[in-house]
Amino acid sequence: MQSRENKTWYTLSHAGTFSKYFFPFGNFLVPLCILMIKKPEPFIEDHSKQALNFQLNIFLYYAIWIGVSLLAGLILGLNFGTINEFYISEGNLTISNTKDFAITPYLIFIAIVAIVGIGIFILDTFAVIQASISASEGKKFKYPLTIPILTKESFIKSSSKNEQFNTTQNESL
C-alpha cells in the first residue's frame, strides 16, 4: 500500500505542470525538481518522468503546429493576388470573380489552425487532470499520444557513468 505522502508527490508531479501558466517553463521544472528530490523512490520517479515526457511531447506538438502553420500561411499568402483571377491564354483575356470568395481559403486555413491549436491545448489540459486524479488514487497513468523521449534506460546509463566516475575517484584517493 502506498502512503498518503507518496500519493501527494505523484499528484504534484502531474498537476505541477500547470505551473507553466504562472512562470516560464514551470511545466518542465516542477516534475524535474520532484524527480531530482525524490529519485530513490521508483514510483515517484516514474510519475515525474511520465509528466516530464508528456510535457516535452506537448512542446514538440506545438513547435510542429507553429512551423506548419507559418509555412502554410506563407504559401497561402504568396498566392494572395492570383486567387481571385482566372486567365485564358487566347488573347490574354482575364476573367475576375466579383464575389468576395477570395477570402474563403484564408478563413478555412485560420479555422484549421485554430482547431488544431485548441485540440492540443485540450489534450494537454484533460490528460494532466486525468493523470493527477489517477495518481492521487495511487494508480499508474499512461499519457495518450506520447512518444517516449525519456526512458528508464537513459537514466540508468547516466547514473552508472556517475558511479564509475565516483569509484575511480575514490580509488585514486
- Cα-based distances in Å from 47 to 3, 11, 51, 68, 126: 15, 8, 6, 32, 17
If one compares 117 and 99, the residue with the highest pLDDT of the two is: 117
Contact 143, 17 (CB under 8 A): no
* pTM exceeding the 0.85 threshold for the entire prediction: no
Question: Is the pLDDT assigned to residue 126 strictly greater than 90?
Answer: yes
Residue 105 confidence class, pLDDT cut points 50, 70, 90: confident
Of 50, 65, 72, the residue nearest 135 (C-alpha): 50
Q: What's the full length of the chain, in residues?
A: 173
Note the pLDDT of residue 104.
Answer: 73
Question: Is the pLDDT assigned to residue 13 strictly greater than 70?
Answer: yes
Residue 20 confidence class, pLDDT cut points 50, 70, 90: very high
Share of the chain above pLDDT 90, in %: 32
Question: Is the pLDDT assigned to residue 111 strictly greater than 90?
Answer: yes
- Cα(31)–Cα(44) distance, integer angstroms: 10
- Cα(39)–Cα(10) distance, integer angstroms: 12
Note the pLDDT of residue 95.
Answer: 56
Q: How many CB atoms lie within 10 A of CB 97?
A: 11
Note the pLDDT of residue 7.
Answer: 84
* Domain segments of the chain as ranges: 4-172
Comparing 30-39, 64-73, 74-83, the range with the smallest average pLDDT is 74-83
